Homo-oligomer: A and B are copies of this chain.
Amino acid sequence: MERLLAVDWGTSSLRGALLDSQGRVIEERSFARGILTVAPGEFATVFEACFAKWAGAAGVFCLISGMAGSKQGWLEAPYCACPAGFDEVASQLAWVEAGRIAIVPGLSCEHDGIPDVMRGEETQVLGALQLLGLRDGLMVLPGTHSKWVQVRAGKIKGFSTFMTGEFYALLRQHSLLARSLPETDGEVDWAAFDEGVAAALRGAGLLQTAFSVRTLSLFGRMAADRLPSYLSGLVIGEEIRTQALPPGEQVVLIGSELLTGRYERALAQRQALVRRVGAEASWRGLWALAQTLHPRREAR
């Protein structure tokens, strides 16, 4: 493999990067063509339209992670059961075109008889492990559906999903609380955010603490333009409240600066030690997986 076209094809966006034989990013592109925008049978067309220039070149292998491997995606890549590391994931790729285009499987695990799933985050975790030189740890991927991932001896042992981003959006847009909030969020008010986190951490659950957005507004205790940040702190704080986090626990946050910044700030109230990794985790994960198929040539 001379080059890798690494693709993260999620629910709402499609991102790609062309990597050289050393795994360095040559160029990146992103498109508003998440799988929700693609009709069944149209995935190949959309892929070619977005990446023909890169994917068509000789010696380019293409590896795709994310919801493209779901039932509603391009080609279903069945979930790989935890514990799973590089070898388990790499051996269960779904091949769209033999030797040229493959999709990374998502992972599944089970706790108390209830399944949990991820698609795309496994690749970010594997990438972050390589970038940080880790084989053990707690990785957190904030988002619409946040993932808390336990890694042991280089394998993903298990994980839990929290619908934090989605709850924020539901409360922000569709609940009674929305009437107390301004139209748009504006800049983060960190003091209000911290108050939200603190209220969540000393509370027993979001069903109750969420109502404080209404009453703080009703009694004029918090200005309307501070309430979105307070609500964001409440939901992120609620996610963190339910974690077993001994003081001093190391947490690796993976994702956009916007989100990992909020989580780092919230985790400080639990005395967690945080390291952050950005979008490069996906590219590194895809590149590392590709290496197990096409051992990298030595640099000349």
Contacts and interface: CB of A to CB of B under 8 A. Distances in A.
The 8 closest A-B pairs by CB, nearest first: A204-B242, A115-B215, A162-B207, A170-B170, A205-B242, A161-B211, A114-B212, A174-B174
Interface stretch (A185-193, A216-224, A270-278): A216-224
Given A205-B206, A207-B235, A175 B170 contact: yes
Residue from the set A166, A216, A219 with the largest chain B CB neighbour count within 10 Å: A166
A211 B298 CA distance: 45
A211 B116 CA distance: 8
A39 interface: no
B145 A163 contact: no
Q: How many copies does the complex hold?
A: 2
Contacts of A167: 207
Question: A-side binding surface: helix, strand, loop or mixed?
Answer: helix
A171 interface: yes
A164 B241 CA distance: 19
Interface string A195-207: 0000100101111
Interface of A: 112, 114-117, 145, 160-164, 166-167, 170-171, 173-176, 199, 202, 204-208, 210-212, 215-216, 218-219, 221, 235, 238-239, 241-242
Contacts of A166: 175-176
A11 to B, nearest CB: 9
B205 A238 contact: yes
Given A112-B199, A207-B238, 10 more contacts: A145-B211, A161-B208, A162-B205, A163-B175, A163-B210, A164-B207, A170-B170, A170-B174, A205-B241, A207-B242
Contact of A199 (B114, B160, B219): B114
